[in-house]
Amino acid sequence: MRTIKGPGVFLAQFATNEAPFNTLDGLAGWAAGKGFNSVQIPTWDSRVIDLKLAAESQAYCDDFRGTLAKHGLEITELASHLQGQLVALHPSFDIPADAFAAPEVRRNPAKRQEWAVDQLMLAAKASRRFGLDRHVTFSGSLLWPYLYPYPQWPEGLIEDGFNELAKRWRPILDAYDREGVDVAYEIHPTEDLHDGLTFEMFLEKVGNHSRCNIMYDPSHLILQSIDYLTYIDHYHERIKCFHVKDAEFRPDGKTGAYGGFQPWIRRAGRFRSPGDGQIDFGGIFAKLSGYDYDGWAVLEWECCLKNSEDGAAEGARFIRDHIIRVADRAFDDFVKAGDDRSDNKTMLGIR
């Protein structure tokens, strides 16, 4: 077994236009001050990283890592959630998701998708230059508007949707394979890969591609009433990344999983700071450690109640307190018998 690495923090929710959150150096100093020892990088945020330059220049990547090292930090993964969403976007999301793309391709779905694919390809090269072997993204959403169908799905709609999703992602997965990098899809409502079965459907469509993997975030599972602990039993071989984000699901006589079009504060399912929700992180860290998870535990802070500064400081401590330093020997070694195989035969009555 290996000890889970951490605590790390995803910088996406903390980058702003105000110092110290508007530069890599400023964010790194802030993260180190909160007690983190690693950061997950949002590749869409030019305040944090120049993705094209990172893909092309080893010197840039070395300087980038040097800036982090100055604060005692390293990179967990690069993340491309926004670009991944645009790889496969249903037309109903054209306007709200348009801002995810570069200005020159907005209001042009074909060009926007082409740009998104190129971004993923750049991230593969950049990951290799940074010495990373896994990457976090979203799958995109071709089928989400048809999740709960009435009228019923036309014949073949789901099959066609997953065929198209696989067609778009297979060349990207192949490119990541050439760079030696896993693609870890965040299993997330509004994504076509939102639970175990949809991941399995996609995995089959891409030929059980070795680079097709999972970013495990239990908050998105509990809000769907999925057994997030047994989920690890099913998919531990494919879990390559881990977001530590808490949530609570408290349905009542007026609303439940769908939220009633309410703001986060009034929904039955809502995200909370680690330790403030209902998720059994002790069980999660134990299961991941038992299955030899070798990645990072990364705080993704999204809480509808708590101040982000408090959430970050508490999150770093929470992760550190939950990481299990795995045993290097069995606790009962002191009563173990010898290793003479002939004694075993005698004990079993074998002549």
| pLDDT score recorded for residue 334 | 66
Both structure tokens of 160: 């066609």
Contact 108, 72 (CB under 8 A): no
Mean pLDDT for the chain? Answer: 96
Q: Which runs of consecutive H residues, i.e. helices, occur in the chain?
A: 24-34, 51-56, 58-69, 81-87, 94-97, 109-129, 157-179, 196-205, 218-222, 228-235, 281-290, 308-322, 341-348
Question: Can you tell me the distance from the alpha carbon of 342 to that of 351, in angstroms, rounded to the nearest whole number?
Answer: 10
Distance in angstroms (rounded) separating the CA atoms of residues 110 and 114: 6
CATH 3.20.20.150 fits 5-348, yes or no: yes
How far is residue 201's CA from residue 51's CA, in Å, rounded to a whole number?
31
pLDDT tens digits along 229-249: 999 999 999 999 999 999 999
pLDDT at 152 > cutoff 90: yes
pLDDT digits (tens, 9 = 90+) for 86-142: 999 999 999 999 999 999 999 999 999 999 999 999 999 999 999 999 999 999 999
Please classify residue 285 by burial: count the beta carbons closer than 10 Å to its beta carbon, then call 0-12 exposed, 13-18 middle and 19+ buried: buried
Nearest to 73 by CA among 65, 61, 83: 65
Report pLDDT for 344.
85
| Residue showing tokens 């030929």 | 207
Q: What is the pLDDT of residues 293-338, one digit of tens each?
A: 999 999 999 999 999 999 999 999 999 999 999 988 777 776 677 7
**pLDDT cut 70: percent of the chain above it:** 99
d(C-alpha 178, C-alpha 247), whole Å: 37
pTM of the model: 0.95
Mean pLDDT of 182-200: 98
pLDDT digits (tens, 9 = 90+) for 281-293: 999 999 999 999 9
